[in-house]
Amino acid sequence: MELIKIYKGNVVSARELHAFLQVKSKFADWIKNRIKKYDFKEGEAFSKILEKGTGGRDSHDYVLTITMAKELCMVENNDLGKQARRYFIECEKTLQELKTNKRLEYWNKLESTKDKFSKYVASIGGTFDDYVQIDFKGRKILFNGEPIPDEELPLILLKVRDLAVEMTNEGFKSGLGALEDITSLHEKNHADLRDLLAQNTGKVPEELDAEESIKKLKEKGAED
């Protein structure tokens, strides 16, 4: 449940925090008082931003680090302040877990490798649809049928997929220039890795269960 929006994973709007805490004093007075009293440093704990208003009436907001936001909650010394502080602590834990999440790490790596693949396809006159079709054919070979979406792959299959696409990218570097040749290579790479996985684990890809969507994990981190 999102109590207060955390932007870019690590900053908070002072205006939104002020509203949540139901502070009695005006926003401008409250934030200036807190900055002065607790010696928060601009550029370290917060940044001041201009907000364009209607009718030429501009105002300012302050972008706060989560650390500063937690301190502001603590000094309010009321139930809302305690609730918000606990919320920020839990958000930090979730964000830290995402940073060390190996599935997320390899999914991001796979996305980068696929992006290179799509650019290679474009470099030989193919379209984005060509790239999607070629990659889907490789994925079908890997699963011997309907593939699990990449964002739901367990860690080992994310590694397999990344290696298969990397191997195809190497094919471009060796001079393959026809879409048919690239398609054949991409299918072969996925077939070879399917066999390798079966030989070393005793399981084929479709026998491995899908996991929670990486996209949902990322959304959870943005919401918490």
Q: Report how far Cα 120 is from the mean position of its chain's Cα atoms.
A: 24
75 and 116 together in one domain: no
What does DSSP say about strands 46-51 and 59-65: parallel, antiparallel, or unpaired?
antiparallel
Nearest to 5 by CA among 58, 69, 50, 74: 69
If asked whether residues 79 and 117 sit together in one domain, one would say no
Decide if 81 is inside a domain.
Answer: yes
Last residue of a domain, one of 99, 127, 149: 99
The Cα 114–Cα 110 span in angstroms is 6
Overall domain count for the chain = 2
The answer on pLDDT for 54 being more than 50 is yes
Count the neighbouring beta carbons within 10 Å of the beta carbon of residue 7: 11
Is 211:148 a contact under the CB 8 Å cutoff?
no
Residue 180 has pLDDT above 70, yes or no: yes
Do 151 and 77 lie in a common domain? no
What pLDDT is attached to residue 125?
A: 93
**The last residue of a domain, from among 80, 99, 118:** 99
Give residue 204's pLDDT: 95
Q: Which domain holds residue 31?
A: 6-99
| Segment 63-93, tens digit of pLDDT | 999 999 999 999 998 999 999 999 888 888 7
What is the pLDDT, as a whole number, of residue 131? 97
Same domain, 115 and 219: yes
> Alpha carbon 95 to chain centroid distance?
10
Q: Are residues 81 and 113 in the same domain?
A: no
State the pLDDT at residue 110: 96
Residue 192 lies in a domain: yes
Rounded to two decimals, the pTM is 0.57
Q: Answer yes or no: do 46 and 137 share one domain.
A: no
223 compared with 100, residue with greater pLDDT: 100
Q: What is the pLDDT of residue 174?
A: 84
Residue 14 structure tokens:
């002072």
- Is 1 domain-assigned? no
Based on the fold, state whether residues 112 and 194 are members of the same structural domain: yes
Triad 106, 110, 114: Cα angle to 5° = 175
Query: Is residue 82 domain-resident?
Result: yes
